[in-house]
């Protein structure tokens, strides 16, 4: 059997093969065992001074690198993922819970003073313009408003933040109630979040509006659906029409509140667009 004829001590020297390139990095110098070196060109037909089987029992130099070193070197220079920071949406759920809580206190537990939160047009208290946006005539009226309130309120909060959601809800709701109080008869009582819903719908559309024909078509389709469904929900309040708290009548479909809430939403977006934003380098 042909074997190699080389000195045993030459096995511990460094590799000098001209056709092998060894990177001179710390990783390879610590993790790879030393290569055998031959001072002369090996001959396959010379009798060696030691058996070839001795090569099988050589002690390899242990690798003193660990998994974390390998991962850190492989991931070195890898760009960190960039993305828009995730915003937690909480405000819309508090508004929904507040609407449900007022409804339960009013219609299930009949809490004293719950009816005082309604907006009575004869001589309203200042706080009724706010509290009436959290009151509803019946469950159908509430459930429909909550459905659209969640959709458009969540869009506004994700885009503009928690504070902007609360301000948009209150300002559009108060604006809708104020216009209703100025226009409707004095023997009317107004309740519902429909004005605020239309305001949030308008704001959610305008803050993302572009002249893309697909966006415009989406707004037209969604807007027509919202108007139709909210008006159907408002008609559910006709069950309370007639005598109510000393001769008051509940407005069945408050179109004035719907339109004025949407207009207040447009006004808010227009006013905010006039506010100069801070430079990015500050």
Query: Is 194 part of the annotated catalytic residue set?
Result: yes
Which residue is it, tokens 């209150």? 170
155 within some domain: yes
> What is the count of structural domains for the chain?
1
109 within some domain: yes
Q: What is the pTM of this model?
A: 0.63
Spot the catalytic one: 194, 204, 237, 260: 194
pLDDT in tens, 182-226: 988 888 899 999 899 999 988 988 887 777 778 778 777 777 777
8 within some domain: no
- Cα-Cα end-to-end distance for the chain: 80
Helix (H, G, I), strand (E, B) or coil at 248: strand
254 within some domain: yes
Write down the pLDDT at residue 203.
Answer: 92
Closest CA to 189 of 129, 249, 117, 260: 249
CB 20 within 8 Å of CB 36: no
Write down the pLDDT at residue 156.
Answer: 93
Given a cut of 50, whether residue 107 has pLDDT beyond it is yes
**What is the pLDDT averaged over residues 11-40?**
48
225 within some domain: yes
**What is the pLDDT averaged over residues 121-135?**
95
CB atoms within 10 A of CB 216: 12
Domain that holds residue 168: 91-240+247-274
159 within some domain: yes
Taken in order 209, 212, 216, 218, is the CA torsion positive or negative?
negative
Spot the catalytic one: 121, 190, 258, 260: 258
CB 238 within 8 Å of CB 252: yes
Packed helices 162-183 and 91-107: angle between N→C axes, nearest 10 degrees: 40
CATH of the domain at 142: 1.20.1540.10
Write down the pLDDT at residue 240.
Answer: 42
Q: How far apart are CA 216 and CA 210, in angstroms?
A: 8
The number of CA neighbours under 13 Å toward the Cβ of 242 is 3
160 within some domain: yes
Write down the pLDDT at residue 77.
Answer: 47
197 within some domain: yes
Given a cut of 60, whether residue 49 has pLDDT beyond it is no
**What is the pLDDT averaged over residues 81-90?**
64
Closest CA to 197 of 156, 239, 159: 156
**What is the pLDDT averaged over residues 105-133?**
95
pLDDT in tens, 220-252: 777 777 777 666 655 554 444 444 555 565 555
Given a cut of 60, whether residue 167 has pLDDT beyond it is yes
Q: How far apart are CA 194 and CA 257, in angstroms?
A: 7
What distance lies between CA 127 and its chain's CA centroid? 33
């Amino acid at each position: 059997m042909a074997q190699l004829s080389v000195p045993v001590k030459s096995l511990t020297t460094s590799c000098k093969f001209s056709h092998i390139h060894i990177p001179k990095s710390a990783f390879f110098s610590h993790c790879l065992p030393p290569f055998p070196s031959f001072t002369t060109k090996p001959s396959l037909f010379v009798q060696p001074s030691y058996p070839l089987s001795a090569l099988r029992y050589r002690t390899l130099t242990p690798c003193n690198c660990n998994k974390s070193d390998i991962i850190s070197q492989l991931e070195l220079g890898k760009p960190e993922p960039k993305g828009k920071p995730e915003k937690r949406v909480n405000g819309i759920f508090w508004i929904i819970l507040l609407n449900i809580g007022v409804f339960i206190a009013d219609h299930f537990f009949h809490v004293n003073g719950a009816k005082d939160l309604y907006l009575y047009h004869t001589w309203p208290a200042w706080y009724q313009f706010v509290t009436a946006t959290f009151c509803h005539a019946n469950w159908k009226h509430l459930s429909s408003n909550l459905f659209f309130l969640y959709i458009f309120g969540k869009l506004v909060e994700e885009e503009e933040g928690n504070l902007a959601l609360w301000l948009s809800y209150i300002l559009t709701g108060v604006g809708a109630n104020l216009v209703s109080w100025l226009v409707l008869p004095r023997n009317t009582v107004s309740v519902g979040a429909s004005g605020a819903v239309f305001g949030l719908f308008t704001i959610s559309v305008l803050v993302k509006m572009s002249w893309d024909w697909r966006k415009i078509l989406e707004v037209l389709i969604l807007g027509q659906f919202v108007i139709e469904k909210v008006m159907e929900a408002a008609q559910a309040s006709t069950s309370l029409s007639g005598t109510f708290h000393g001769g008051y009548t509940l407005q069945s479909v408050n179109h004035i509140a719907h339109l004025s809430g949407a207009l207040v939403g447009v006004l808010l977006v227009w006013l905010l667009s006039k506010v100069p934003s801070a430079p990015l380098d500050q």
